[in-house]
């Protein structure tokens, strides 16, 4: 066959040296190759066919290969997929590929869509924390009983997010989410921090406002401000993508009594509300380097 009856697909994945890449045509016939020490693999393939490229959890869109055509596929460090973002984070290059405030869209299984903003390396772990730009369309109670006893650790909202909401996320996103140690006081006016390791969480007061107003002072030294929150306007969140500005739950118990949690007010100011009230929810998640 003439050389012009072939094309070439070059695959790059610097974090998968020695890994096997599979090139599969529309008939199901596959050829394989290995990522070389320079992070690249070039494969000459018959032209006028459609191929998919698979490397670990990465699968490319179908590629129609023309005669003499050279196609480049970035199978590793890319923000176009959650697996790609995980590879970026594992490579220690989050800040090189992702900026604070970059937006990523997530479609939930129930049909709702959330838009997330990235926060890079806020806790110095090379992690990226993702916070929605608006709340879930449906408000929820922090606790079915009007109590903050046990703090975030004992919250019914925490149980819902980590047992129910997480199953609504796309499977490829679920596969790369890391646990975050959420640090908030234990409620009942006790200024002692508890740590809850969660895949889905909501921010603390310090993480949104950069300081302590109504939460326990011990939270101030264990939490950092997320850079997307620059002023009151940036803290305002609507109910759903097109709703009105609403009150938004935070993980921090109100230190002044045993019934309230901290919230973000409709103007973006700190406030607090009874745990059995129904307010807006920002289901956040983290992608961190593997240990």
Query: What would the pLDDT profile of 164-180 be if each residue is shown by its tens digit?
Result: 999 999 999 999 999 99
Instruction: Please say if the pLDDT value at position 22 is more than 60.
Output: yes
pLDDT of residue 52: 97
Residues 6+ apart with CB under 8 A from 149: 186, 187, 188, 258
Q: What is the Cα–Cα distance from 177 to 123, expressed in whole angstroms?
A: 16
Query: What would the pLDDT profile of 63-102 be if each residue is shown by its tens digit?
Result: 999 999 999 998 877 898 898 899 889 888 899 899 999 9
The pLDDT of 22-37, averaged and rounded, is 97
Please report, for residues 78, 165, 284, the alpha-carbon distance to residue 202 in angstroms, rounded to integers and kept in the order given. Answer: 27, 12, 6
Instruction: Please say if the pLDDT value at position 1 is more than 80.
Output: no
pLDDT of residue 93: 87
Q: What is the Cα–Cα distance from 121 to 143, expressed in whole angstroms?
A: 31
Name all domains of the chain by residue range, CATH numbers in brackets.
3-74 (2.60.40.10), 99-287 (no CATH)
Encoded tokens for 275: 């745990």
Instruction: Please say if the pLDDT value at position 3 is more than 60.
Output: no
Residues β-bridged to residue 272: 262
Instruction: Please say if the pLDDT value at position 235 is more than 80.
Output: yes
pLDDT of residue 92: 87
């Amino acid at each position: 066959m003439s050389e012009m009856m072939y094309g070439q697909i070059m695959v790059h994945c610097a974090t998968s040296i020695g890994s096997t890449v599979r090139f599969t045509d529309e008939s199901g016939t596959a050829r394989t190759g290995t990522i070389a020490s320079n992070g690249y693999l070039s494969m000459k393939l018959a032209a006028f066919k459609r191929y998919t490229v698979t490397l670990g959890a990465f699968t490319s869109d179908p590629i129609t290969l023309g005669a003499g055509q050279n196609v480049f596929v970035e199978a590793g460090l890319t923000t176009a997929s959650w697996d790609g973002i995980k590879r970026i984070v594992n490579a220690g290059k989050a800040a090189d590929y992702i900026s604070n405030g970059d937006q990523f869209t997530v479609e939930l299984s129930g049909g709702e869509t959330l838009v997330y903003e990235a926060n890079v390396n806020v806790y110095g772990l090379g992690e990226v924390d993702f916070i929605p730009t608006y709340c879930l369309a449906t408000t929820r109670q922090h606790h079915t009983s009007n109590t903050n006893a046990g703090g975030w650790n004992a919250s019914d909202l925490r149980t819902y997010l980590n047992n129910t909401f997480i199953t609504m996320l796309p499977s490829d996103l679920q596969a790369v989410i890391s646990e975050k140690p959420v640090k908030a006081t234990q409620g009942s006016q006790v200024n002692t921090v508890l740590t809850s390791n969660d895949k889905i969480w909501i921010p603390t007061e310090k993480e949104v406002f950069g300081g302590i107003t109504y939460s326990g002072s011990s939270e101030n030294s264990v939490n950092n401000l997320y850079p997307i929150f620059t002023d009151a306007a940036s803290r305002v969140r609507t109910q759903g993508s097109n709703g009105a500005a609403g009150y938004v739950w935070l993980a921090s118990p109100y230190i002044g009594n045993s019934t309230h949690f901290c919230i973000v007010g409709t103007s973006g100011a700190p406030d607090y509300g009874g745990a059995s009230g129904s307010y807006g929810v920002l289901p956040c998640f983290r992608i961190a380097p593997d240990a």
